[in-house]
Structure 1
Amino acid sequence: MLRLVLLTSLAALALSTDKFTRDDFPPDFVFGAAASAYQVEGAANLDGRIPSIWDTFAHAGNMHGASGDIACDEYHKYKEDVQLMEDTGLEAYRFSISWSRLIPNGRGAVNPKGFQYYIKLINELISHGIQPHVTLHHTDLPQALEDEYGGWVSRKIVKDFTAYADVCFRKFGDRISYWTTMNEANVFVLEGYDTGFLPPQRCSPPYGGNCSTGNSSTEPYMAAHHILLAHASAARLYKKRYQDKQHGVIGLNVFSYWFIPLTNSTEDKIATQRANDFYLGWFVDPLVFGDYPQTMKKIVGSRLPSFTYAESSQVKGSFDFIGVNHYITIYVNDNTSSLNMEDRDVLADMAVQFTRIRNDTSIFEYPIAPWGLQGILEYIKQFYGNPPVYIHENGQRTRRNSTLEDWPRVKYLQGYIGSLLDALSYGLYFVDLDDPDLKRQPKLSAHWYSNFLKGKNISSDGCIELQKNISAVSPYLLE
């Protein structure tokens, strides 16, 4: 149900000892959890909310029968969930606002019941001493705007997104100090407009999946360009009209693999930098330097939109922090032969082949490689001048309904926190989706994380001791 999030403006801190507590972190480290509106809210057809592109995508059968119609029903169970957060010891909760719940048609009047829900959620968090962190767009553009003009492939989205952000700043800004305009902007455009594996499912053969419209060669670059312009417009508005009074910060979130060369060859080293340019530099370079990486400009050519001087000036510096989501490390080797292709997509433009680090115990689970997160943080520090970085997502995945005894996630927590003191996981509480009441049950990792946050020593043998301590009160964990 929940994804752990570490929000920090400091670089990674590593400890050589295998014993550590919450107090080993600097005072301004903030530990919490995160989710997105479509993942947890439910109530998809209630109280004035109308479909987003996620609803359309799910109802078309792209999620194997699953949807966010009910999800975890946080819309009705938010008080219970916030209480779980406080009981665990969380300090922050990052959630997204559903644009189509707050402003159902994408523009125009605010939905009173949608507004009241977010006010109640925010107030509940604050009353329990938990910082609210808000994401404005988490892959859920109102379907009305997608239908009207194609959503993010149209420049019209800049004006509508800015107006939506203005409503959020005005309505909630006296309670919110942390704003993220877009979650995983790079993944959204790659999977939504190149491969078609995410909404709005726009792509074209031979690169994309089962899409009815789109152009994988041009639309990812168009959508990314408009996202950057929309982010800059919203950030500029916030800084000009609200920041002095509300004392908050605003940034943009990107997904980040840590790329390492498959071999020591010059070609693979160059390919690794190219992969960084296309994945990370695509969005972070314009924010820091005001333009796309030279590598991208050379390879993509006229398919890559250009910033005017005024646009470059607006985008450059339009952030207070960079949000980072990181899960796995990838080997990279050169595949420049793909550059000979015509009508290329983004992945062909990148001209690399990826090989995931193997996990000896499970193909499904992510390998534990804390040094990958450390590498990302060091790369951002060195290449982009040490900007503030918030680690928004990091963690281990397990199969749905597999077990409450989620040892792989505990080991992930132990490895990342112990090695870097800045990486956490997700899925702490099991939600029984087959139970009409959507009962919440703490997993083993919830107990581990709670013990850590409450200042108890966590050592290499702590997992064994943890099992002994909780088995007496939670026998179901041993079933």
Structure 2
Amino acid sequence: MRQFLLVITIVLLRWAFSVRCSNDYSKNDFPEGFVFGSAFSAFQWEGAVDEDGRSPSIWDTYLHSENGHGRIEDGDCDGYHKYKEDVRLMYEMGLDAFRLSISWPRLIPSGRGLVNPKGLRFYKNLLDELTRYGIEPHVTLFHNDLPQALEDEYGGWIDRKIIDDFTAFAEVCFREFGNEVKHWSTINEPNMLAWGGYDLGVIPPMHCSPPFGTGNCSRGNSSTEPYIVLHNMLLAHASTARLYKQKYKYKQNGSVGITCYAYWMVPFTSSQEDKIATQRAKDFFLGWVLHPLVFGDYPDIMRKIVGKRLPRFSKDESDLVKDSSDFFGVIHYTTMYIKHLSSSYQGDFNSDMNAALIPFGNSTMVAFDVLPWGLEGVLEYIKQNYGNPPVYILENGRPTSHNSSINDIGRVEFLHAYIGSVLKSVRNGSDTRGYFQWSFMDLFEFINFKYTFGLYYVNFSDPERKRSPKTSAFWYSAFLKGTTKVPKSVSSSLEFSSQ
């Protein structure tokens, strides 16, 4: 049976590249030092939500509420207990680097104060395992899992108290893990967290207010909270970056950055209104995060439209935020059409932007269209408008239904095309330094866990959470080991799955 499956895989890979992927390239075409990896986050991978002193996060609370769409126990990978196995799979695949996150409620269960020794030991063991196998860890400090204790105490990100608490949490991580970690991302996609969690109310903590949002929110203010939350996230990031530079950088020689969710955006029609709306949407989505980090303030169009609802930086805060990121982490999945939209309401992020986001082509949550030029557009835009800073692609991948075939040729096509677009961008002068595929294995996905992005299939019905490589895992391993050409190198790519 194994031999039959290998033959089928080789045939499918040959078909994928002969029919769909005409542009061959190899890892060796990228600059020396460029890193390739994969990724997951603590909440989506670890499981063990009530073990060894971990406290609930706002996602735990949401998933066990009437609005929740399941339980983390139904979709976690049990990485807390299987981390050694998973790191070995990473090594056998040939990853240069791996992006992971630290669970704040596992490390500091109360959000501040005492460190949980068992949580500390887990992350030390995980990082030691990665180091032992020569895999470079890229660590995100906050990937959506805010301790529920801080949400209950003062509202989490809507209160400036969180700046000090987040900085203190970060310092524990720098002090305890900094000898192994040289690349820190402070906050994962703050623009999507602020928009989805505090305006639309579709993700925890489910804040919104009528007439905006989902209608299922019992608290919040869609007109002001998204802007307040992102403002506090930027200040928390900048405070953390300053701490690292003052106390740790000289002896650990690492770097601190932040991520930004980045649709590429194109006008829906050739009308002047849609063209103007597209630039406005870029300022609201990308400039909201990147502009203060480069220029010390939000884009002028945001100041003009949002007015007094948009918080202001003091002179000291502006100086603190400006140039506080050593790199930008880009999270990109797909491209959107932008259509000018004159909202009948005024006063939340959507209506302030006055633009409708329309999926390009046949893109859905089940299958994104393969639009690699969209990622090129994002990287070129950052290069042209923000001084060509160092960039890491920290998430890029394609979802499929969890129960679909492990022969995920569509994902292979997607990855081949998008990695090729990164190479083209680098050759065109973008200072992009790494690419991280999302995700290494099937995870509990935040929006809908029925869809997954994994290179490895995880059987969530199996108490052992068995991992099985998909066709995309074979392809990515072949690429990481030197070539995308098939079948010349496919035999070596299969070795890691036969042990």
Tell whether the structures are fold-level matches, with TM greater than 0.5. Answer: yes
What amino acid is the match of 1:65?
G
CA contact (8 A) 2:87 2:129 kept: yes
Where does residue 372 of structure 1 map in the other structure?
374
CA contact (8 A) 2:375 2:421 kept: no
Q: Alpha-carbon deviation of 1:62?
A: 3.9
Q: 1:182-225, CA deviations, whole angstroms, 9 ceiling, x for partnerless residues? A: 00110011111011111111111221121121111110011011
Q: Alpha-carbon deviation of 1:347?
A: 0.6
Alignment of 1:98-137 (within 5 A): 98-137=103-142
Q: Alpha-carbon deviation of 1:61?
A: 4.3
The separation in 2 between residues aligned to 1:151 and 1:245, in whole angstroms, is 32
Where does residue 321 of structure 1 map in the other structure?
327
Alignment pair present for 1:349 and 2:355: no
Where does residue 26 of structure 2 map in the other structure?
21
The separation in 2 between residues aligned to 1:363 and 1:463, in whole angstroms, is 31
What amino acid is the match of 1:420?
V
- Secondary structure of the corresponding residue to residue 165 of structure 1: helix
Give the direction of change, closer, same or farther, for the CA distance of 1:420–1:173 in structure 2 (3 Å limit): closer
The separation in 1 between residues aligned to 2:212 and 2:265, in whole angstroms, is 23
Question: Structure 1 stretch 65-74 or stretch 36-45: which is displaced more?
Answer: 65-74
- Secondary structure of the corresponding residue to residue 400 of structure 2: coil
- Secondary structure of the corresponding residue to residue 436 of structure 1: coil
Where does residue 449 of structure 1 map in the other structure?
476
Alignment of 1:332-343 (within 5 A): 332-335=338-341, 337-338=342-343, 341-342=345-346
Give the direction of change, closer, same or farther, for the CA distance of 1:244–1:198 in structure 2 (3 Å limit): same
The separation in 1 between residues aligned to 2:411 and 2:461, in whole angstroms, is 23
CA contact (8 A) 1:136 1:180 kept: yes
CA contact (8 A) 1:181 1:250 kept: yes
Where does residue 6 of structure 1 map in the other structure?
none
CA contact (8 A) 1:43 1:69 kept: no
Alignment pair present for 1:263 and 2:269: yes
Q: Alpha-carbon deviation of 1:57?
A: 1.1
Q: Alpha-carbon deviation of 1:364?
A: 2.1
Quote the RMSD (CA, aligned, Å).
Answer: 2.1
Alignment of 1:60-459 (within 5 A): 60-67=65-72, 71-209=76-214, 210-335=216-341, 337-338=342-343, 341-342=345-346, 344-359=347-362, 364-421=366-423, 424-426=437-439, 427-456=454-483, 458-459=484-485
Question: Structure 1 stretch 419-428 or stretch 248-257: which is displaced more?
Answer: 419-428
The separation in 2 between residues aligned to 1:364 and 1:154, in whole angstroms, is 36
The separation in 2 between residues aligned to 1:163 and 1:423, in whole angstroms, is 28
The separation in 1 between residues aligned to 2:43 and 2:35, in whole angstroms, is 24
Give the direction of change, closer, same or farther, for the CA distance of 1:40–1:118 in structure 2 (3 Å limit): same
Could you list the runs of 5+ residues in structure 2 that have no partner in the other structure?
Answer: 1-20, 424-434, 440-453
Q: Alpha-carbon deviation of 1:413?
A: 1.6
CA contact (8 A) 1:43 1:70 kept: no
Q: 1:367-423, CA deviations, whole angstroms, 9 ceiling, x for partnerless residues? A: 000000000000000000111111100111111121211111011122222343368
- Secondary structure of the corresponding residue to residue 179 of structure 1: strand
What amino acid is the match of 1:366?
F
Give the direction of change, closer, same or farther, for the CA distance of 1:330–1:24 in structure 2 (3 Å limit): same
CA contact (8 A) 2:478 2:489 kept: no
Give the direction of change, closer, same or farther, for the CA distance of 1:133–1:239 in structure 2 (3 Å limit): same
- Secondary structure of the corresponding residue to residue 44 of structure 1: coil
Give the direction of change, closer, same or farther, for the CA distance of 1:239–1:382 in structure 2 (3 Å limit): same
Aligned residue pairs, count: 451
- Secondary structure of the corresponding residue to residue 60 of structure 1: coil
CA contact (8 A) 2:190 2:260 kept: yes
Q: Alpha-carbon deviation of 1:466?
A: 5.3
Q: Alpha-carbon deviation of 1:359?
A: 2.9
Q: 1:6-61, CA deviations, whole angstroms, 9 ceiling, x for partnerless residues? A: xxxxxxxxxx9722111111111100111111100001000000101111111114
CA contact (8 A) 1:268 1:333 kept: yes
- Secondary structure of the corresponding residue to residue 319 of structure 2: helix
What amino acid is the match of 1:376?
V
Give the direction of change, closer, same or farther, for the CA distance of 1:425–1:168 in structure 2 (3 Å limit): closer
Question: Structure 1 stretch 61-70 or stretch 271-280: which is displaced more?
Answer: 61-70
Could you list the runs of 5+ residues in structure 1 that have no partner in the other structure?
Answer: 1-15, 475-479
Give the direction of change, closer, same or farther, for the CA distance of 1:284–1:438 in structure 2 (3 Å limit): same
Give the direction of change, closer, same or farther, for the CA distance of 1:419–1:391 in structure 2 (3 Å limit): closer
Question: Structure 1 stretch 351-360 or stretch 221-230: which is displaced more?
Answer: 351-360
The separation in 2 between residues aligned to 1:341 and 1:108, in whole angstroms, is 43
What amino acid is the match of 2:310?
L
TM-score by length of 2: 0.87
What amino acid is the match of 1:220?
P
